[in-house]
Amino acid sequence: MANAYDAAYRRSMDDPSGFWADAAAGIDWTRKWDKVLDDTNPPFYRWFTGGELNTCFNCLDRHVAAGRGAQAALIYHSPVTGGSKRTYSYKTLLDEVAKTAGALKAEGVQKGDRVVIYMPMIPEAAIAMLSCARLGAIHSVVFGGFASNELAVRIDDAKPKVIMSATCGIEVNRVLPYIPLLDGAINMAKHKPDACLIFKRPELDGQVTATKHVDWTSAVAKAQPAECVAVKATDPLYILYTSGTTGEPKGVVRDNGGHAVALKWSMKNIYDIDPGDVFWAASDVGWVVGHSYIVYAPLLHGATTVMFEGKPVGTPDPGAFWRVISEHGVKALFTAPTAFRAIKKEDPNATQLKKYDLSRFKMLFLAGERTDPDTLEWAQSNLGVPVVDHWWQTETGWAIATNCMGLHRFPIKPGSPTKPAPGWNVQVLDEETHQPVKAGTIGAICVKLPMPPSSLQTLWNADQRYLDAYINPFPGYYKTADAGMYDDEGYIYIMARTDDIINVAGHRLSTGGMEEVLASHPDVAECAVIGVADLMKGQLPFGFLVLKDGVKKEPDVVVSDVVKLVRERIGPVAAFKQAVVVKRLPKTRSGKILRGTMQKIADNEAWKMPATIDDPVILDEITVALEGAGYGKSRQT
């Protein structure tokens, strides 16, 4: 007899329109759709064409109207500000959002306008996002603290009417001023916003000088509450730029209708969360997890979401997560494996865990990078609850593969995110023939089109780039740029990236973008960046520098320069701290740098001498350089 997962998955493949029409019944529409799946212009598929709705109404207004206004909607917990805590009921959050939307409206923001949000992890960040959605404006959240030039690139691409920001972010033991970064970005950008709405935090004052400054608190206090504006299901809700780019950014476009339907559906069927349950995604609003599972999905479902401003360790100890779970009655936690590696390193015997009542805690979900078996087993044995590794991307907006805890709980296999979620036709293809490979064979992981609701519609103002990056390499499929395999029981394994994206503590960063920064140094002739395995962060970037002839500086000085340069241009999130100066880079005869081989040497993995290498001796020099930096001894085969 088929289980609930098998039945749901089969129907989502055989009758996607019927499957998602049923899911859409969980959303309030101001106008019902004409067609569930519009396949008239492949590969630009659209969901719920003709339908109209408002995402903010579905997150807030309808729950208040249904008599649940007193229920907690958002809990803010901030150990970095001395333990600040605030709880917003659905009614309180609705009032704040309506008035903030009114303040935006007073600055001329209307349906279709873009608003850049550059905020720390405070409730006002979620309020800003929901306020934009209320007006039918398109928000683009940029991770708070990103360097000025990174922010400037996004400003020029999105062309926002208004920027919403705060005076500062707060790290474990320091205040990070945002205003100088924001001013620098506006000065660099060709596009100038009409105004900046700035939330003043008590930890730091600040005045924007590059454009019109509007005090957030004062503007909201005098604003008239704004009503919800209906938009088309296919209209953009937000643009989210993939992280780590230093050139032309890739702005992932998410629609309103498909996004609301899929995320609402996922809360029960994947995470087994019911309305009123407390759900905590320990991420940041600057990343896709923050969009999907701090702000939108829990509120669409009528759950309570937790917004945490802190770290898993050091705020003040490795018991921070357990303290929040216990105090607020969290049912499920969603975080990155990096967080648990940090906790495990500081508290290997989980002594802090034993101090707290976790009786209401039922599940742990890990994503953002591959979960190593040791971390999964440590968490599972100490927590005594299922630990679910699941796999998804900025582009997809929700899980591609997961153990669907609200449908059927499969046995957990360390190293695998279990099986594709309903709606996702995931295939492992041969890179050359584009045909499916046998179980146990590694290939390129692709998703057969059309993808389910909430997947990216395109890239902002870049349809051709969307096709070139994601569709054309495997016609009829979405290219995930991940490599992996299926086993004989239909479990999927994600093994590695197939492009130059590395995962640093769950943040997807482009090594190519870092190479652009390194290459800009006047003494650097050539460079390469690889991701090396790191016990705490999953991967860390490691640079190789070939200096120009005649450079008199000591190698250590140049290395120090480029480390500082990456921090300035990409930001601390890149975690770029190590590089070595080498005489040459290993290349194929056609000039391709052998990054994959260098990465295997660094990670002490078996490797084969590439048949097309132009000079095998260079790899010996690279091996010596890596060993000098503390990375693995070569095991050439």
Identify the bridge partners of residue 388 per DSSP, sorted by sequence position.
Answer: 365
Report the C-alpha gap between 532 and 598 in whole angstroms.
9
Report the C-alpha gap between 398 and 289 in whole angstroms.
8
pLDDT tens digits, 584-628: 888 765 456 788 889 889 988 888 777 557 678 889 889 998 988
Q: How far is CA 289 from CA 52, 82, 285, 424, in A?
A: 25, 26, 7, 19
In a domain, 585, yes or no: yes
What mean pLDDT comes out for the span 568-596? 82
- Which range of residues forms the domain containing residue 630? 501-636
Of 471, 492, 514, at which residue does a domain stop? 471
> How far from the centroid of its chain's Cα atoms is residue 373's Cα?
22
437 and 557 co-located in one domain:
no
620 and 516 co-located in one domain:
yes
467 and 506 co-located in one domain:
no
The answer to whether the CB of 502 falls within 8 A of the CB of 303 is no
104 and 208 co-located in one domain:
yes
DSSP assignment string, 453-488: TTS---BTT-HHHHIIIIITTSTTEEEEEEEEEE-T
- What are the residue ranges of helices labelled H in 394-522? 463-466, 511-519
In a domain, 304, yes or no: yes
In a domain, 63, yes or no: yes
Summary mean pLDDT of the chain: 92
> How far from the centroid of its chain's Cα atoms is residue 197's Cα?
25
Count the neighbouring beta carbons within 10 Å of the beta carbon of residue 294: 28
445 and 540 co-located in one domain:
no
In a domain, 333, yes or no: no
CATH of the domain at 17: 3.40.50.12780
* Both tokens assigned to 414: 């360390």
The answer to whether the CB of 14 falls within 8 A of the CB of 194 is no
Residue 372 is predicted with a pLDDT of 74
Confidence tier at 263 by pLDDT (50, 70, 90): very high
77 and 117 co-located in one domain:
yes
Residue 1 is predicted with a pLDDT of 59
Report the C-alpha gap between 128 and 140 in whole angstroms.
10
Report the C-alpha gap between 108 and 292 in whole angstroms.
27
DSSP assignment string, 60-120: IIHHIIIIITTSEEEEEEEGGGTSEEEEEEHHHHHHHHHHHHHHHHHTT--TT-EEEEE--
Which of 19-23, 36-40, 523-527 is least confident?
A: 523-527
458 and 581 co-located in one domain:
no
457 and 553 co-located in one domain:
no
Report the C-alpha gap between 329 and 359 in whole angstroms.
8
pLDDT tens digits, 195-250: 999 999 999 988 899 999 999 999 999 999 999 999 999 999 999 998 533 346 78
419 and 507 co-located in one domain:
no
In a domain, 590, yes or no: yes
In a domain, 348, yes or no: no
In a domain, 230, yes or no: yes
In a domain, 266, yes or no: yes
438 and 524 co-located in one domain:
no
Which DSSP helix (H) or strand (E) runs through 365?
strand 363-366
What mean pLDDT comes out for the span 343-368? 92
Task: Please state the domain count of the chain.
Answer: 2
pLDDT tens digits, 31-81: 999 999 999 999 999 999 999 999 999 999 999 999 999 999 999 999 999
Helix (H, G, I), strand (E, B) or coil at 527: strand
What count of Cα atoms within 13 Å lies in the side-chain half-sphere of residue 55? Answer: 36
- pLDDT above 70 coverage of the chain, percent: 95
What mean pLDDT comes out for the span 163-184? 94
126 and 170 co-located in one domain:
yes
577 and 443 co-located in one domain:
no
